[in-house]
A and B are shown apart, each in its own frame.
Chain A
Amino acid sequence: DTGVSQNPRHKITKRGQNVTFRCDPISEHNRLYWYRQTLGQGPEFLTYFQNEAQLEKSRLLSDRFSAERPKGSFSTLEIQRTEQGDSAMYLCASSLESRDRYGYTFGSGTRLTVV
């Protein structure tokens, strides 16, 4: 298993454009999380899936943000009409329901820069 994979690693986009990020979790993990992290801050929760169901969304997730996990495997996070304030590292993590003590495995993240 190669761990949690995120693509692309970096994305530079112009303000107003749409962007989509992909996360491939560890294959047997049924839970998937999206976080956003800015410099000097801890990760902020965005949304969470259990299998294909999106069970929780943060108030940070405005209507410009949408996430899917169509078959309970990989997930996508789309940001429409990007703003400069969206510039951040977007982190994906996955976990297995019955193995809390092993924590959540994070991907390397997608760094978004909106210019």
Chain B
Amino acid sequence: GQNIDQPTEMTATEGAIVQINCTYQTSGFNGLFWYQQHAGEAPTFLSYNVLDGLEEKGRFSSFLSRSKGYSYLLLKELQMKDSASYLCAVRARGYIPTFGRGTSLIVHP
């Protein structure tokens, strides 16, 4: 099985930078995804990492260290609309991502 750990909740200020961590234990690692989910809505894809390093996409970046079983999602220039749940999902052997519980991010003025 897989074990995925994320903080339950984080708060940050509009305009700031926030880092959301995800640690995982799995065998046969085959990719890590980050999704954003606003309350009552479907998850939307943010990023995908399969090799070590940083992937940058606009205000959002995602980092992966396979040897440490660790990833983070970095959000810059926070906006109020970034208040949402951020889900880390790990894919092991096969094609099925397993999701963590998600980190609820609250952005305040």
Contacts and interface: CB of A to CB of B under 8 A. Distances in A.
A106 B100 CA distance: 16
For this complex, into which size category does the number of interface residues on chain A fall? 20 to 34
Given A95-B95, A100-B31, A102-B48, 13 more contacts: A42-B101, A48-B95, A56-B96, A91-B43, A101-B50, A102-B45, A103-B33, A103-B35, A103-B46, A106-B42, A106-B43, A106-B44, A108-B41
Interface in B41-75: 41-46, 48, 50
B96 A43 contact: no
B42 to A, nearest CB: 4
Interface string B72-109: 00000000000000010100001111111110000000
Interface residues of B, number: 22
A41 interface: yes
A91 B42 contact: yes
Nearest to B94: A56
B42 A108 contact: yes
From B31, B45, B48, B100, residue with most partner A Cβ within 10 Å: B45
Given A103-B33, A106-B43, A108-B42, A42 B102 contact: yes
B98 A45 contact: yes
Contacts, number: 52
A45 B87 CA distance: 14
A33 interface: yes
Interface of A: 4, 31, 33, 35, 40-45, 48, 50, 56, 91, 95, 100-109
Contacts of B42: 4, 91, 106-109
A104 B99 contact: no
Contacts of B46: 103
Contacts of B45: 102-105
Nearest to A109: B42
B102 A41 contact: yes
Contacts of B99: 35, 42-44
Contacts of B44: 106
